Amino acid sequence: MMDRRTFLKAAFGGVGLTAAGPQLVAARPIRPPVFKAPVALVKTDDRVAGIKKALELLDLTGIKGKKLFLKPNFNSADPAPGSTHPDTLSALVEALQTRGAARITVGDRSGMGDTRQVMARKEIFRMAEELGFESMVFDELEADDWLIRQFSGSHWAQGFAVPRAVVEADGVVQTCCLKTHRHGGHFTLSLKNSVGLAAKQIPGQSYNYMSELHSSPHQRRMIAEINTVYQPDLVVLDGMTAFVEGGPARGKKVQANLILAGTDRVALDAVGVAVLRHFGTTPEVSQGAVFEQEQLARAVELRLGVGGPDQIELITADPASAAYARQIMDILLNE
């Protein structure tokens, strides 16, 4: 049986591995996008039923037997869409367990508060006991629990650090919200949700990665670059309610009555941007073609997903969802 160090050398070619502290890790291979990336779209007034229906529209047979890391949106403890709704997380965990996931670990780093306190307010530790998943508070990780990612062309001066647990997981699932972002991200969907995977600071080091991110003119490109460290097995976007202005914690809220699900982050975020435009949103999110948004444009450069709206297929199962999908697709194709 391989020990942990031997496993890492086999998995990542031994690049920059040292005895202790943060370590250099190569990106996971990014699969080239299929010509049509399926995105399940369900119009619903029932969050849990909508999630179940969306997942039924996708092929998730690859989940079986995997030890999964599940990334929610716990940037703060504010009610959805400020953070992940408890019903969204429980429905997703139960769906993954039903499909044979061997183990699920739920973890995050809060940008607007103490992560343990945020997760406690969201009752994650109680939920973990009831549903049988593990929880992880990134603020409490040791230096050796972080891995450094840097690559040619990155806009990160010193790279960025991600938890070893995410890199070593058999698969990664995330659930994000539908909202704008007033602090420079412009919108926070699945690509932006990955910022919670990156360290603010590594124990024993003074460098503040989040200060660099939030002060950089390349912030939206850097957001996309964090996503090179993993390939999602599934992304679920809870769009029951949405912030069309403000965000990430509070903002102008609309009832979007929408669940999106898929495995292509670029496709899903492009659809999310189109939904925000459908309801009327900020000038930053409204301007130009959807795929000209910097988060999406950089993600396309990095081959994280589809390259344009013509490569997206919205999958629906009822007339109301199909009508909704046609409206969103019109925005994607014509703006």
Taking only the tens of pLDDT, the chain with its 335 residues reads: 444 333 333 333 333 322 235 555 555 545 554 479 999 999 999 999 999 999 999 999 999 999 999 999 999 999 999 999 999 999 999 999 999 999 999 999 999 989 999 999 999 999 999 999 999 999 999 999 999 999 999 999 999 999 999 999 999 999 999 999 988 899 999 999 999 999 999 999 999 999 999 999 999 999 999 999 999 999 999 999 999 999 999 999 999 999 999 999 999 999 999 999 999 999 999 999 999 999 999 999 999 999 999 999 999 999 999 999 999 999 999 86
- The residue type at 35: F
Whether omega before 217 lies within 30 degrees of 0, making that bond cis, reads: no
Helix or strand or coil: residue 173? strand
User: What does the block give as tokens for 34?
Assistant: 């299929």
Residue range(s) defining the domain that contains residue 42: 4-334
Look-up of token digits 């990014």: 30
pTM of the model: 0.89
Distance CA 191, CA 132 (A): 27
Greatest C-alpha distance within the chain: 58
Look-up of token digits 């496993």: 7
Q: What is the per-residue pLDDT for 25?
A: 55
145, 164 Cβ separation under 8 angstroms: yes
Whether omega before 32 lies within 30 degrees of 0, making that bond cis, reads: no
* Helix (H) and strand (E) counts in the chain: 13, 12
Whether omega before 248 lies within 30 degrees of 0, making that bond cis, reads: yes
256, 242 Cβ separation under 8 angstroms: yes
Q: Residue 316: phi, psi to the nearest 5?
A: -130, 170
User: What does the block give as tokens for 167?
Assistant: 């890199």
Whether omega before 81 lies within 30 degrees of 0, making that bond cis, reads: yes
Which residues contact residue 86 at a Cβ distance below 8 angstroms, ignoring those fewer than 6 apart?
Answer: 122, 123, 127
Q: What is the per-residue pLDDT for 184?
A: 87
Distance CA 159, CA 168 (A): 19
33, 264 Cβ separation under 8 angstroms: yes
Q: What is the per-residue pLDDT for 215?
A: 96
Which residues contact residue 195 at a Cβ distance below 8 angstroms, ignoring those fewer than 6 apart?
Answer: 111, 185, 213, 223, 226
Q: What is the per-residue pLDDT for 28?
A: 55
- Number of domains within the chain: 1
Distance CA 311, CA 302 (A): 16
- Per DSSP, 332 falls in state H
Q: What is the per-residue pLDDT for 20?
A: 33
162, 41 Cβ separation under 8 angstroms: no
Question: Parallel, antiparallel, or unpaired: how do β-strands 23-24 and 186-187 relate?
Answer: unpaired
Q: Residue 104 is inside which H or E element, if any?
A: strand 103-108
Which residues contact residue 73 at a Cβ distance below 8 angstroms, ignoring those fewer than 6 apart?
Answer: 83, 84, 108, 175, 176, 177, 188, 193, 196
